Amino acid sequence: MDTQNAPSDTTAGALAEPRRSWRIPDDRRLPALEPYAHAVERTPPLTVRETLWDTAGRTLAFAGVELLRAEGPAGGGTAAGGDGAWSIDRGDGPVPLPSDSGGEPRPPRDAVEVFLRGQPLQVVRVRDTATTLVVLRGKDGRVRAEVADVRVDEGDPDTALLRSARWWALTDDGDPGSVSRAVERALLDAAEDPGRGPNDPVPRLAPVRRPAVDTARRPRPGTAAAFVRGVVADLRAELVTIDPRVRADEREAVHDLRKVLRRLRSVLAVFRGALDRDATEQLRGRLAEVSGVAGTARDAEVLRDRLLRSASRAPQGYVDADTLDRLGAQFEDHRRTTAAELRRVMSSAVWFAALDALDDLVETAPPGQHATDAATVFVAKRIRRERRRVLALIEDSVTGAGAGDEDLAVLHGQRKGARRLRYALQAAGDTADVGKRRLGRLRRVQDTLGDALDAAHAADAYRSAAARDAGTGRRAGTGAGSDSGAFVLGVLATTERLVVERQVAEGRRLLTGLGAALRG
C-alpha cells in the first residue's frame, strides 16, 4: 500500500473518543479484522501502571473520590501525559491535576484536603491497564477505524489481584462507511453483548464507595429537623466544591467561600431549635472564625479590583498611570498576603474541626426542641420572626442624611439583617408561603449598602496610602520631587466618598420601602 501521500491523521490514536464499547467477561480473542480493511496494524500491548492514593482508613474512597498517579508503562518508559502525572476522579472520569511537589511522588493535596483534613496519604491500590490497539486503514491509507482491547487489573500493593475488567472499544473516523460497519458487526457477534453507546464509551472499574448509610435514625420527612438537615447538606456539598478552588487561588473562589459560610451561619441561626442547639451554635462559632479570615481576604480582593473603577470616576487627567501602578501593586501584595493567611487557616485544625462538626451535624442530625414540628409551620414562624427583627433594625436606625462612621455602622447592621432574611427565604424555597416576593427588594438593599461600604473602605485605603507616603517622606508622583502622588490619592478618596454619600442616600430610600413592605 502506498502511504507516501497519506494525510497527517493516519497515525494510530488520531481518531476521536470511542463510539461504542463492549464489556468482555473472559479471555476471548478479538475476531479476525483483516477481511474488513485494506491494511490492519496491531500495536504491541502497552501496560500503564497507576497508583491510587488514600488514607489508611480509605477517606477518599468513602467520599467517592480517587486520587491517581500515572507511573508510566510497566517496565519503564513514559506514559502519555508524562510519567508521574496526577489526576482526580470524582465519578465522572479522571481530571488532570497540577502537581505541587516538584516532580516528587507526593500527591497534590489541595484538591482533596477538604476530605483528608491533615491525614497522611499512602498508596492503597495499584492498577495496571494493558491496551492492544488494532488500526484499520482504507485504500487511501487513512485510518478508518481503531479497535482497542483493554484489560485492567487492580490490587493492593502487597496482596494478590483483587479486581479485573476487560472491554473492547471501537473508534472510527465519523464516516459510516463499510469498514466501520463491518468491524462493528464482527465485534458485536464476537462479544455476545449489546455494547454501549457514546454516552458510556468505555467501562471502567467503579471506585470504592462508602457503604450505604443507615438512614433509620434520620429525621422524618416533612419535619423541621429534616428541612434544616437538607438545607445544611446542600450547603456542605457546595463547600466541598469551593474548598479546592480557594486553595488554588482561583478568581471569585474566596467570594464564593465567604457566601456559603454566611448562608450556613444564617440558616443555623434563623432556624434554631430544629437541630440540637448546642451542636448548631458550636458549629456557627467555628464557621465564624474562618469566615472572619475569609472576609479579610475578600475585602482585599474588592479593594484591588476597585482601583480602576475609582480612577474611571475621577475627573479626566487627574490620575496618572504611575501612581495607579504603584497602588495596584500594593493592593495585590495585600491580597496575596490575606489569601495566603486564609489558606493557612484552611490547612489548620480550626477549619478541619469545623468540617468535622458540619459532617457530624448532617450525618447524625441531632434533634432539637422543635425537631418534630411540621416544617411548613416551623419555617413560616421563623421567617415571621426574622422579618420583625429586620423591621426593628430599620426603625431603630439613625435618622438623617449623614454618611459618617456611625451611620455606616448602623447601615452595616441593617444590611446584615436584610441579608440574613434573604438567605432564610432562599433556604425556605417552596416549604411555605413566606414572602419570597421580597427577595428582589432585599437584594437591592444588600447590593446598594454593600457598594457604600466598599467605597468607604476604598476611601480609607487611599487616605492611609497617602499617610504612609507622607510618613516615609516618599514622593509618589511621576515628576521628580513632586507631590502629585498624594494629590492623586486624595482625588481617588474624594471620588469614593461621593459614592458613599450617593449610595447611603439610596440605601436609606430602599430601607424605607423595605420597612413599609415588612409592615404590610
Let me know whether 184 and 219 are in one domain: no
Q: Specify the number of domains making up the chain.
A: 3
Residues 6+ apart with CB under 8 A from 4: none
What integer pLDDT is reported at residue 97 of this predicted model? 87
CB–CB of 164/154 below 8 Å? Answer: yes
Query: What is Dmax (Cα atoms) for the chain?
Result: 91
Let me know whether 401 and 358 are in one domain: no
Q: What grid cell was written down for 362?
A: 448532617
Model confidence at 477: pLDDT above 70:
no
Query: Around Cβ 323, how many Cβ atoms within 10 Å?
Result: 23
Cα 502 to Cα 401: distance, rounded to the nearest angstrom: 10
Q: What is the CA radius of gyration of the chain?
A: 31
Cα 109 to Cα 296: distance, rounded to the nearest angstrom: 25
Nearest to 358 by CA among 215, 222, 243, 254: 243
Write out the H or E segment, with its range, that includes residue 54. strand 46-54
Cα 427 to Cα 379: distance, rounded to the nearest angstrom: 10
Alpha helices in 205-348 (DSSP H): 224-247, 253-270, 277-313, 321-345
Q: What grid cell was written down for 503?
A: 449610595
The answer as to whether 1 is a domain residue is no
The answer as to whether 310 is a domain residue is yes
Q: What is the mean pLDDT of the chain?
A: 85
Let me know whether 355 and 391 are in one domain: no
The answer as to whether 302 is a domain residue is yes
Write out the H or E segment, with its range, that includes residue 442. helix 439-472
Range of the domain at 361: 214-373
The answer as to whether 208 is a domain residue is no
E strand spans, 139-229: 143-155, 161-172
Let me know whether 178 and 267 are in one domain: no
Q: What grid cell was written down for 231?
A: 438545607
Task: Quickly tell me which residue has 454618611 as its cell.
Answer: 403
What integer pLDDT is reported at residue 480 of this predicted model? 36
Q: Is 137 left (phi over 0), alpha (psi -120 to 50) or beta?
A: beta
Average pLDDT over residues 462-485: 64
More confident residue, 202 or 34: 34
> Per-residue confidence at 402, pLDDT binned at 50, 70, 90?
low
Let me know whether 361 and 440 are in one domain: no
Q: What are phi and psi of 230, to 5 degrees?
A: -65, -45
Handedness of CA 280, 282, 286, 288 (dihedral sign): positive
Share of the chain above pLDDT 70, in %: 83
Let me know whether 126 and 173 are in one domain: yes
Write out the H or E segment, with its range, that includes residue 496. helix 484-519
Strand partners, 20: 170
Average pLDDT over residues 288-314: 95
Let me know whether 312 and 392 are in one domain: no
Model confidence at 434: pLDDT above 90:
no
Q: What grid cell was written down for 190?
A: 464476537
Cα 508 to Cα 52: distance, rounded to the nearest angstrom: 58
Cα 149 to Cα 159: distance, rounded to the nearest angstrom: 26
Strand partners, 95: 88
Encoded amino acid at 33, one letter:
L
> Per-residue confidence at 446, pLDDT binned at 50, 70, 90?
very high
Let me know whether 351 and 412 are in one domain: no
The answer as to whether 61 is a domain residue is yes
CB–CB of 310/492 below 8 Å? Answer: yes
Q: What grid cell was written down for 278?
A: 448546642
Let me know whether 516 and 408 are in one domain: yes
Strand partners, 133: 148
Which has the minimum average pLDDT: 12-26, 162-176, 499-513?
A: 12-26
Cα 16 to Cα 34: distance, rounded to the nearest angstrom: 22
What integer pLDDT is reported at residue 384 of this predicted model? 92
> Per-residue confidence at 353, pLDDT binned at 50, 70, 90?
very high
More confident residue, 5 or 46: 46
Let me know whether 275 and 295 are in one domain: yes
pLDDT digits 0-9 by tens, 140-166: 888 889 999 999 988 888 776 678 889
Cα 510 to Cα 109: distance, rounded to the nearest angstrom: 46
CB–CB of 340/248 below 8 Å? Answer: no
Q: Please calculate the CA angle 504-410-393 and round it to the nearest 5 degrees.
A: 105
pLDDT digits 0-9 by tens, 207-265: 665 555 555 578 999 999 999 999 999 999 999 999 999 999 999 999 999 999 999 99
Which has the minimum average pLDDT: 13-17, 215-219, 283-287?
A: 13-17
Cα 302 to Cα 307: distance, rounded to the nearest angstrom: 9
Average pLDDT over residues 20-42: 91
Model confidence at 101: pLDDT above 60:
no
What integer pLDDT is reported at residue 118 of this predicted model? 95
Model confidence at 457: pLDDT above 70:
yes
Cα 167 to Cα 149: distance, rounded to the nearest angstrom: 6
SS3 94: strand
Residues 6+ apart with CB under 8 A from 161: 153, 154, 155
> Per-residue confidence at 98, pLDDT binned at 50, 70, 90?
confident
Q: 327, 343, 373: which is the final residue of a domain?
A: 373
Encoded amino acid at 311, one letter:
A
| CATH number of 252's domain | 1.40.20.10
The answer as to whether 204 is a domain residue is no
Cα 430 to Cα 421: distance, rounded to the nearest angstrom: 15
Let me know whether 233 and 365 are in one domain: yes
Let me know whether 171 and 267 are in one domain: no
